[in-house]
Amino acid sequence: MMKKVVKIIHTHSRHWVGNGFPVRSLFSYRPDAQEVSPFLLFDYVGPHFFEPHTEEKPRGVGLHPHRGFETVTIVFDGEVSHRDSTGGGGTIGPGDVQWMTAGGGIIHEEYHSLGFSKTGGPFRAVQLWVNLPQKSKMMPPKYQTIEQNEIPRVDVVGGSMRIIAGAWGDIQGPAKTHTPMNIWDLKLQADAKTELVIPKDHNTLIAVLSGHITIDDQGVGEAEVALLSQQGDTVLITADGASSLMILSGLPIDEPVVGYGPFVMNTEAEIRQAVDDYNNNRFTFAQEQ
């Protein structure tokens, strides 16, 4: 049985995060967290061309906290450097992924690498916010660097797909997740028609990064997201032109979602505690080596 398109999520606004990341938020957990659960937010960064940057401090966003969820950064063009209060971090380039579990609290900063700052060039990336279940929200924070050569690539009809998280048949993605989910990076040639098998109890979102596709007789263009029905276990995608897509599916986390800025918890009291902990320096930042 084919999954149906429930709705197409459109976005037209663009904003800057710091001075290094021009962002379109393709979807958010507001107003209905359950329809996109276990995902919370999808930020599409770029495409944007940066001129060489001669100032000492690279472009980016300075220290800021998170609690209660994970951030997943996938770079397509350019380079992103990261440093956090666990001592984790590093630089990722095209095809690489940073998977940061904020857990009970982390402070980090994200910025262009020194090399990319000096040369400039095209920049394009995705950052997802992935929710944590209540039992994991206060876990110790951790960090996963996933390099592009660790991510398996599979052939599909009319294209290829990288398995970042979850599985495609017997092929497992390298990311360690706290609830069942799939994160796939799909490239399709023009006029390709391909079927993907997705668990019927998953929430499924298909984001178009470039190109144009048709699903269930509905068109989906650049920076748009198709939200699919839970019913059915197959989606048929027709690429109307060469297209780059992110396929997200996951078992919903059936728990309350309360968010305030960089904190996503289950209750208002937990949000107040997160703000108090941050304001009273209970989140610490590792000193630069």
pLDDT score at 139: 95
Are 102 and 136 spatial neighbours (Cβ–Cβ below 8 Å)? no
Q: 């706290």: which residue's tokens?
A: 178
pTM: 0.95
CA atoms within 13 A on the CB side of 106: 28
Which residue from 38, 30, 132, 236 is spatially nearest to 226, judged by alpha carbons? 236
DSSP 280: T
pLDDT at 288: 37
* Local confidence band at 286 (pLDDT 50, 70, 90 cut-offs): very low
The answer to whether the beta carbons of residues 198 and 229 sit under 8 Å apart is no
Range list of β-strands (E), 132-211: 142-146, 153-156, 159-165, 167-168, 171-172, 181-188, 193-197, 203-210
- At residue 289 the predicted structure's pLDDT band, cuts being 50, 70 and 90, is very low
Provide the CATH number for the domain formed by 5-272 in this structure: 2.60.120.10
DSSP H/E element including 271:
helix 268-279
Give the model confidence (pLDDT) of 92-123 as tens digits.
999 999 999 999 999 999 999 999 999 999 99
d(CA 184, CA 206): 10
- Cα→Cα distances 251→39, 172, 263, Å: 10, 17, 21
Domain boundaries, the chain: 5-272
Distance between CA 123 and CA 286 in Å, rounded? 28
> With contact defined as beta carbons under 8 Å apart, do 224 and 208 qualify?
yes
pLDDT in tens, 225-248: 999 999 999 999 999 999 999 999
Contacts of 40 (CB under 8 A, 6+ apart): 28, 29, 33, 69, 128, 129, 130, 131, 257, 259, 264
